[in-house]
Amino acid sequence: MANEFRALLLEKSEDGVSASIKQLKDEQLPDGDVTVSISYSTLNYKDGMILKGVGGLVRNYPHIPGIDFVGRVERSEASEYSVGDKVILTGWRVGEARWGGFSEKAQVQSGWLVSLPKKLTEKRAMAIGTAGLTAMLAVLEFQSNGLRPENGPILVTGANGGVGSIAVSLLAGYGFEVHASTGRLDLSDDLKSIGASEIIAREELNAVPERPLLSEHWSGVVDTVGGDTLAAVLPQIKSRGVVAACGNAGGIKFSATVIPFLLRGIKLIGIDSAMCPIGQRKKAWERLSEDLSAAVLDGLTKTISLEDLPESAGKILKGKIKGRMIVDVNA
């Protein structure tokens, strides 16, 4: 077992946060009962924030970011995993409060890991990553609350992003009519190719409604934007509809009234993929391996290297990236 590894290391100075590729030693890894030789990671919106020092998410430097990874067990003190097992990690504040996946190695707690489903390759697992897990958790909430295709269309906001694009594909695959909201109308054909039947310009959902109730349009919403967009959709949800709040790219505050909840019985459900219980997490990954089209997933995916991450982080924060970006940490 080699006792050194490459990683993207963040360091903080008076000038801000800087990123560089460093050669590190195994003894520098944090405590954990499993060591993983990482094959791939992926770039999420939160990763972009961490790489650019936005939001104060990282308290301690130097730091290795990357909230997702997949790889093979290199060392295990846990009975659940043996050397050579393929495992996935998403969430648990890895890459934020602990060293993460933009590295050739990671050392973590076994309880944070999920075995790679047999039908998934390592690369496709990271094409899914936290974004796909979040999308599937939203779909599971819809299904557990009784939403069916006959109840009416589902709206996906921020539909060109990682969570949004996978949500569009999943929902269309389950037979729902999917309406996709995007700030990039030039990519409308891409959204239609993965299952969206109607495209809505982001600007149409940016204004906070003046009335507490508007015409009923959607039985459910996967909202990856938050802010004024979330406020705009709540008065337009059908009776007994469900809104899954998955992101805050548009802001953490929104202005709303209780009227849609009282008079239409709608539900607003937060999707916490980071600290999701392990049982629900395993169920979501199995469903993703069974139900998400491999062809659609491959079409949403681009592969980059560790060296590409700082530039790509800036792009994801500006909404300039569509679909998913896999990080080949060994390239």
Average pLDDT per consecutive 10 residues, the chain (331 residues; last block may be shorter): 88 92 97 98 95 93 98 97 98 96 98 97 97 97 97 96 94 98 93 96 87 96 96 97 94 93 98 95 97 92 96 92 92 94
Q: Which CATH superfamily is domain 4-116+301-328 in?
A: Medium-chain alcohol dehydrogenases, catalytic domain (3.90.180.10)
The gap from C-alpha 65 to its chain's centroid, in whole angstroms, comes to: 15
Question: The tokens 């009776």 sit on which residue?
Answer: 239
What are the tens digits of pLDDT across the range 145-204? 999 999 999 999 999 988 999 999 999 999 999 999 999 999 999 999 999 999 999 999
Topology adopted by domain 128-270: Rossmann fold (3.40.50)
For the chain, domain boundaries: 4-116+301-328, 128-270
Q: What is the pLDDT of residue 2?
A: 67
Structure tokens at 300: 């949403």
Measure the CA–CA gap between 108 and 51, rounded to whole angstroms: 21
What are the tens digits of pLDDT across the range 272-290? 999 999 999 999 999 999 9
Measure the CA–CA gap between 215 and 234, rounded to whole angstroms: 11
Measure the CA–CA gap between 67 and 160, rounded to whole angstroms: 20
Question: The tokens 């995916």 sit on which residue?
Answer: 301
Identify the helix (H) or strand (E) that includes residue 16.
strand 16-25
Measure the CA–CA gap between 200 and 203, rounded to whole angstroms: 8
Q: What is the pLDDT of residue 209?
A: 84
Question: Comparing C-alpha atoms, which of 328, 314, 321, 309 is closest to residue 54?
Answer: 314
Same fold, 4-116+301-328 and 128-270: no
Structure tokens at 24: 């590190």
Measure the CA–CA gap between 150 and 98, rounded to whole angstroms: 44
User: CB of 22 within 8 A of CB of 6?
Assistant: yes
Structure tokens at 2: 């080699």
